[in-house]
Amino acid sequence: MAFRVAILANFDLDEQGGREMLSRITTLLRCSRTGATEITIHSAIRGDAFPDPSEYDLVILTGGPFNLLKHNEEHERPEWVRRTLGWIQETAKIHEAGGLSEPGSKKKAKLLGICWGHQAIALALGGRLGQVLQERGGQLIGIQTVPLTSQGAAFFETESLNIQKNHALVVTHPGPYLTPVASGSSSSQNEVLLSHSPPILTFQGHPEMDAALARLFAGFATGGASNRADWVPSEGLKGIDDVHDGEAILKRVVAWADE
């Protein structure tokens, strides 16, 4: 039976970098396991229907440019954002009711959140967001070494993860469902969040990004040229061309979703 993945693309597919990002994600997914992998793309921004979680092994909520703090009142948020947050809540409720995780159920429908997806899942499930501190430039770009808790180290079979970063918002409180599995200062503990019920894994960083994509989106974030080779990473982070664990992280995610 094929491994089925739905990608919720939280960006305009036709904007620069959109297709490249999807291509990178799908390539990593197909390289992360043997056997058939079926991938469908869904874009709430353009009005697509959301995937039925019972039809998939993994649903990925990607990064995206919309600032979830820009409009704090729900009625001020764009419809696609409201629909996405509502879909996350409904999917969690189905899991709570036992409909997707019981033995013999059709699919596990595990959720993976990346950057914007990480923030949206936390927000939808009772968490809180904040802004990257201005003394850190208001935007974090580069590769960060994220130390893991004992639970995180057991899950990933490593003590830390090197991951591409490009974000201006952070999760300040994960809410009642998600457990931080990163360690360190209070500002870094919510870098990686995990829940076993409902089954959710989220990253503030971008395990799907390679150096070329990181450089492209660094240009968007700072208003600079996307082909610059001399990006200066944020304080405490390594350069975007440094070694990172993106491929290993996605391989672990796929193994988790296939369990």
Maximum alpha-carbon separation in the chain: 53
Cα 102-103-109 angle, rounded to 5 deg: 60
Q: Annotated catalytic residue: which of 95, 118, 167, 208?
A: 208
Give residue 3's identity as a one-letter amino acid code: F
Tokens of 247: 């491929």
Q: Annotated catalytic residue: which of 95, 167, 206, 244?
A: 206
**What gap in Å lies between CA 257 and CA 259, rounded to an integer?**
6
Q: Annotated catalytic residue: which of 95, 115, 118, 191?
A: 115
**Alpha-carbon 200 to chain mean position:** 10
- Measuring CA to CA, how many Å separate 180 from each of 82, 88, 132? 25, 19, 18
Is 31 an active-site residue? no
Beta strands in the chain (DSSP E): 3-8, 37-42, 58-61, 110-114, 128-131, 140-147, 160-167, 169-173, 179-180, 192-196, 199-203
Backbone phi and psi for residue 60, each to the nearest 5 degrees, phi listed first: -105, 125
**What gap in Å lies between CA 180 and CA 155, rounded to an integer?**
12
Q: Tokens 């492209």 belong to which residue?
A: 216
Is 73 an active-site residue? no
Is 71 an active-site residue? no
**For 152-173, what is the HEC assignment?**
HHHHHCCCEEEEEEEECEEEEE
Catalytic machinery residues: 115, 206, 208
